[in-house]
Amino acid sequence: MNKNDMNAMIAFAEEAMKSKNWSEAVIRWQALFERFERVGSGGAYVRLSIAYRNQNLFNQAEKTICEGIEKHPTYFPIFMEFAKIAMLQKNWLEATERLRKIVDSFDRITYPKVINIAEALEYQNQNRQLFEPHCNICGSPFFVAMNSRKNVKCLNCGSLERTRLLYLYIEHLAVLSPNVRIFHLAPELGLYDKISSIVCPDNYFVVDLDPKRYSFAKNIQKFDLCNDIDDLPDQHFDLIIHSHIMEHIPCNISYVFKGLHRSLKDDGWHLCIIPFMNGYYEECFAPLSAEEAQSRFGQFDHVRRFGIKDIHNSLGRIIPIDINYDVTKIFSPETLIKSNIPDYCWKGLTVHTVLALRKNDIKI
């Protein structure tokens, strides 16, 4: 076996994966297996499976993974991919069994992810009879920890509690249809997949300052809110969406809001999540060390903090802010619980608060 030849073929297959040419990727991975009797890593089986399932060829994906498990029975990612296949088909019972096999088969210390999986399964078992929480974006009942917050991140689509709350608002406003125009900044994977399945591709504009971070989003464009805001067309979008963006922008935030609302149709909606924190408003565009930015703004790449103590004299001068925010006035506690949105998201201004704004809500 010529290792250089095998590495070259792997790189060739990865090129197709990167360009999302899934059918070509399958051909290239199969050629690799045909030429080399035993591929040294189980990763090739995982990659071939991914290429299959991105074409909805789940039977072929499962066959590939089963072969990989037989040849690489200690390779953790193969078992994760096996569970992922069931999850994508929304076969939650089978996914549960496959996840349990991971918990039973692998050392928690060696594989830290298993701890999260075990917690997710335990959480599911404890609450199944009460309300059967599930992700209202993709339908998955499996949740894992996000930092210190247990069981809040969807294991399937990666949605957080605030993302699921945002989608509840989108459903409540009934704004999604094939012909609506949407401007989505820093698209979340689950939301992107959901919206893409409904809205025509030509009407769904996804952007970010660093598009490479969102390789899953087709046709994502680079967009700088500080320098490109004037390029947005007037009266164009039915819905503008962004979450945890405004704390990153090193320019006048009033001008950014004005530009976004100029681009909103008269009957359009601007849905955004802004991380409200204790204390007072503060911003700084001067160069700061990561440590100072973390101390002042809560994260190394933030340039401002939205303190609630003086909210009416800061952000409240630009858009209406309800200090008595209470999402249970719109959604029942049962709906929120079923979507696994914890009660700390329900009332008051927090890092999870969703603002639903109309075009004329802008005060400048």
Q: 16-29 pLDDT, tens per residue? A: 998 889 999 999 99
| Position 44 pLDDT exceeds 80 | yes
| Average pLDDT score over residue span 274-292 | 96
| Average pLDDT score over residue span 6-24 | 91
Quick one: which of 49, 78, 83, 50 has its CA closest to 63? 49
**The two three-digit tokens of residue 172, written as one number:** 């409540």
Residue whose tokens read 């100029």: 262
| Exposure class string for 11-23: b at 16+ Cβ within 10 A, else e | eebeebbeeeebe
**The two three-digit tokens of residue 226, written as one number:** 């500080």
| Predicted local confidence at residue 25, as pLDDT | 95
| Position 307 pLDDT exceeds 90 | yes
**The two three-digit tokens of residue 9, written as one number:** 């073929």
Domain 3-154 sits in CATH at: 1.25.40.10
| Max Cα-Cα span within the chain | 70
pLDDT higher for 331 or 115? Answer: 331
**151 and 144 Cβ atoms separated by less than 8 Å:** yes
Quick one: which of 254, 259, 270 has its CA closest to 229? 259
To 5 degrees, how large is the angle CA 130–CA 135–CA 138?
A: 140
**C-alpha distances out from residue 236 to 191, 221, 268, Å:** 21, 17, 9
Q: What is the mean pLDDT of the chain?
A: 92
SS3 content of the chain, % helix, strand, coil (to 5): 45, 15, 40
Residue whose tokens read 């030429």: 35
pTM above 0.85, yes or no: no
pLDDT by residue (tens digit) across 126-185? 665 445 789 999 999 889 889 889 889 999 999 999 999 999 999 999 999 999 999 999
Boundaries of every domain in the chain: 3-154, 161-361
pLDDT by residue (tens digit) across 115-135? 677 777 776 666 654 457 899
C-alpha of 266 from chain center: 29
**186 and 242 Cβ atoms separated by less than 8 Å:** yes
Q: Place 272 in a pLDDT band, splitting at 50, 70 and 90.
A: very high
CATH 2.60.120 assigned to 161-361: no
Whole-angstrom distance, CA of residue 10 vs CA of residue 45: 11
Q: In 3-state terms, what secondary structure has residue 228?
A: coil
| Predicted local confidence at residue 78, as pLDDT | 93
Q: Place 3 in a pLDDT band, splitting at 50, 70 and 90.
A: low
**275 and 340 Cβ atoms separated by less than 8 Å:** no
Of 9-13, 33-37, 98-102, 122-126, the one with minimum mean pLDDT is: 122-126
**99 and 86 Cβ atoms separated by less than 8 Å:** no
Contacts of 182 (CB under 8 A, 6+ apart): 195, 199, 203, 204, 205, 237, 238, 239, 240, 241
